[in-house]
């Protein structure tokens, strides 16, 4: 049987046409630069796409604000939008300081305070308590500068009520201390007057030791602003007397 099978297989030969077509096919593969470089081209394309995706992803991430620092200096105010790399990616408000973009928030705040000659400055950090701790530890220690913290929810509520974060924080403190005031009234009154009102009402200065007041407020309209205060921890604080 071995001989039979061997002879049978030995009788099988490749047709000349298949050999010729294969030689033509291989010659084509060899000379065609497109074919030759297809694999390299694919790898290069994949690498480029990955790079583009990475860069666009990082760029998008860079420009997404995750926290904010409101600096209120009657009459001007600034809202610094801070990204996850602690850099300023947007500035709102009435400040003329537009060269703060891409600066680290520490430098941006210093820059703002250096150029500030207001008698009453309120710095309100939204979202990131580490920033508040840094600012409290580094801003000039005087009675004109007050620091506070608002949760992201409370900051949104301030926006709905049409007030700056600092004013909204002060407004909530007034409510907390039993002062009957509407958001509309608070909007009209300057910060300094509101603070004086608070000091008069409480008969004592605002505490000098920094502590944190977190307002986690999510009321939907201005009429709810007054009733939706949720005092979580401590009271309003500031530097100075």
Does residue 33 touch another protein according to CB under 8 A? no
Residue 97, C-beta contacts closer than 8 angstroms, at least 6 positions apart:
78, 91, 111, 112, 115
Does residue 40 touch another protein according to CB under 8 A? no
Distance of alpha carbon 237 from the chain centroid:
25
Does residue 27 touch another protein according to CB under 8 A? yes
The CB-of-43 to another protein minimum distance in angstroms stands at 16
Does residue 41 touch another protein according to CB under 8 A? no
| Spatial separation of the C-alpha atoms in residues 223 and 241, rounded to whole Å | 32
Closer of 29 and 177 to another protein (Cβ) = 29
**Which of the ranges 26-34, 73-81, 85-93, 151-159 carries the binding residues for another protein, by CB under 8 A?**
26-34
| Spatial separation of the C-alpha atoms in residues 84 and 73, rounded to whole Å | 26
Does residue 19 touch another protein according to CB under 8 A? yes
The CB-of-10 to another protein minimum distance in angstroms stands at 7
Does residue 14 touch another protein according to CB under 8 A? yes
Q: How many residues bind another protein, per CB under 8 A?
A: 27
What residues form DSSP beta bridges with 87?
A: 104
SS3 category, 127:
coil
Distance of alpha carbon 123 from the chain centroid:
17
Dig out the tokens for 82 from the structure: 């801070």
Which residues of this chain interact with another protein, rule CB under 8 A? 1-19, 21-23, 25-27, 29-30
């Amino acid at each position: 049987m071995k001989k039979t099978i061997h002879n049978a297989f030995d009788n099988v030969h490749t047709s000349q046409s298949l050999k010729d077509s294969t030689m033509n096919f291989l010659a084509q593969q060899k000379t065609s630069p497109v074919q030759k470089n297809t694999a390299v081209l694919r790898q290069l394309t994949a690498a480029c796409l990955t790079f583009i995706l990475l860069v666009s992803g990082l760029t998008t991430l860079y420009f997404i604000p995750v926290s904010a620092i409101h600096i209120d200096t009657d009459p001007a105010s600034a809202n610094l939008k801070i990204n996850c790399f602690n850099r300023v990616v947007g500035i709102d408000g009435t400040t003329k300081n537009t060269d703060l973009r891409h600066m680290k928030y520490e430098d941006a705040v210093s820059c703002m305070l250096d150029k500030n000659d207001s008698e009453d400055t309120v710095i309100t950090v939204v979202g990131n308590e580490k920033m508040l701790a840094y600012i409290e530890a580094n801003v000039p220690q005087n009675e004109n500068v007050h620091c506070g913290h608002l949760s992201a929810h409370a900051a949104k509520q301030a926006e709905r009520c049409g007030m700056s974060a600092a004013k909204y924080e002060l407004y909530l403190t007034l409510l907390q201390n039993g002062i009957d005031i509407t958001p509309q009234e608070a909007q009209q009154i300057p910060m300094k007057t509101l603070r004086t009102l608070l000091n008069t009402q409480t008969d004592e200065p605002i505490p000098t030791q920094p502590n944190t007041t977190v307002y986690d407020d999510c009321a939907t309209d201005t009429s709810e602003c007054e009733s939706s205060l949720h005092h979580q921890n401590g009271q309003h604080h500031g530097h100075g007397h």
